Amino acid sequence: LTSDMLLAGSWKKLKFKDYNFEALGAPLESGYLHPLVKVRSEFRQIFLEMGFSEMPTNNYVENSFWNFDALFQPQQHPARDAHDTFFISDPKVSNKFPMDYLERVKKVHSKGGYGSQGYGYDWKIEEAQKNLLRTHTTAVSARMLFKLAQQKEFKPIKLFSIDKVFRNETLDATHLAEFHQVEGLIADYNLTLGDLIGVFAEFFKKLGITQLEFKPAYNPYTEPSMEIFCFHPGLGKWIEIGNSGVFRPEMLLPMGLPEDVCVIAWGLSLERPTMIKYGFNNIRDLIGPKVDL
């Protein structure tokens, strides 16, 4: 029975079988949540339970100032080369910066200050203006901490973010040119590495992970820094789960944060725990041809 038959009235000359009201409907093609979306919700729930607020990460395009210079990452650092970072050709540069803050960043890189000897190089604004795809969500953390420093009175805060970052790296079975970084930070008076270990332990206890080990590491923007490992009961082995540290005074003091305010932070990826949870060995089986979360 078609609409043409109804319009033309030809249905009147035809014999139709009785309508079967017991017939089942056509099976519906049901959708499903992507594994990354499910693990992102799990991590988001843990952060929210621990009193963290989510940072606004809806800007894949960033400039080198916030992605590197604000984090006291020197302009000669290899991570700032095109072989590690995706620079944008149009618009090639940003030119809106908080200029008095930018001057303090320039000074701490080139001449030092706040008890630091700095790097002693000729810092160039042209380098800081270059637009790029953010290589870490720590660029957003820097923007949020600068905003925090502009408040009349400092109030302790716990922030987190889970979003895409982009690195011009060699691709392999577990690394793509983009991945989702999970980042947490706490800004408060007189925080210590013990607080960082404690909050990280609490975070992973909620994932059923209780055996953690911490190893000294280096980041340009945190001192001290630690790599974090856990014994994964399912895999029966120790695995690397992320990196962490205490943001350096050369990053925090030019922003205008009080001297006795410390910021501890850590980061990991979303893809690695998702691949483990769902048993993927190759990240392409997880991501597929195109997934925009």
Ligand X SMILES: COC[C@@H]1[C@H](c2ccc(C#Cc3ccccc3)cc2)[C@@H]2CN(C(=O)Nc3ccc(OC4CC4)cc3)C[C@@H](O)[C@@H](O)CN12
**Comparison of 84 and 260: residue with beta carbon closer to ligand X:** 84
Of 250, 264, 78, 47, the residue nearest 162 (C-alpha) = 47
**Comparison of 131 and 141: residue with beta carbon closer to ligand X:** 141
Whether the bond into 224 is cis, omega within 30 of 0: yes
Angle (CA) 293-47-183 rounded to 5° is 65
**Comparison of 72 and 266: residue with beta carbon closer to ligand X:** 266
- Contact between 249 and ligand X (CB under 6 A)? no
Q: How far apart are CA 280 and CA 185, in angstroms?
A: 29
Least distance in Å: CB of 163 to ligand X? 12
CB 226 within 8 A of CB 217: yes
Cα torsion 112, 92, 178, 134: sign: positive
- Contact between 207 and ligand X (CB under 6 A)? yes
# residues contacting ligand X (CB under 6 A) = 24
* Dihedral of the alpha carbons of 206, 211, 214, 215, in degrees to the nearest 10: -140
- Contact between 243 and ligand X (CB under 6 A)? yes
**Residue of 70, 162, 230, 262 that binds ligand X (CB under 6 A):** 230
Site string for ligand X, 44-83 (x = CB under 6 A): ----------------------------------------
Q: Which residue is nearest to ligand X (CB)?
A: 267
- Contact between 212 and ligand X (CB under 6 A)? no
Q: How far apart are CA 136 and CA 164, in angstroms?
A: 8
Residues in the chain: 293
CB 161 within 8 A of CB 177: no
* Dihedral of the alpha carbons of 217, 218, 219, 220, in degrees to the nearest 10: 170
- Contact between 181 and ligand X (CB under 6 A)? yes
Of 283, 81, 85, the residue nearest 179 (C-alpha) = 283
**Residue of 74, 245, 249, 254 that binds ligand X (CB under 6 A):** 245
**Comparison of 93 and 201: residue with beta carbon closer to ligand X:** 201
Q: How far apart are CA 38 and CA 182, in angstroms?
A: 14
**Residue of 132, 186, 267, 286 that binds ligand X (CB under 6 A):** 267
Whether the bond into 91 is cis, omega within 30 of 0: yes
Q: How far apart are CA 120 and CA 75, in angstroms?
A: 11
Span of 50-58, 100-108, 110-118, 239-247 interacting with ligand X by CB under 6 A:
239-247
- Contact between 259 and ligand X (CB under 6 A)? no
Least distance in Å: CB of 75 to ligand X? 20
- Contact between 242 and ligand X (CB under 6 A)? yes
**Residue of 62, 69, 163, 183 that binds ligand X (CB under 6 A):** 183
Q: What share of the chain is helix, strand, coil (3-state, %, to 5)?
A: 35, 25, 40
Site for ligand X in 86-145 (CB under 6 A): 138
- Contact between 241 and ligand X (CB under 6 A)? yes
- Contact between 268 and ligand X (CB under 6 A)? yes
Contacts to ligand X by CB under 6 A: 138, 181, 183, 207, 209, 219, 222, 230, 232, 239-245, 265-269, 272-273, 276
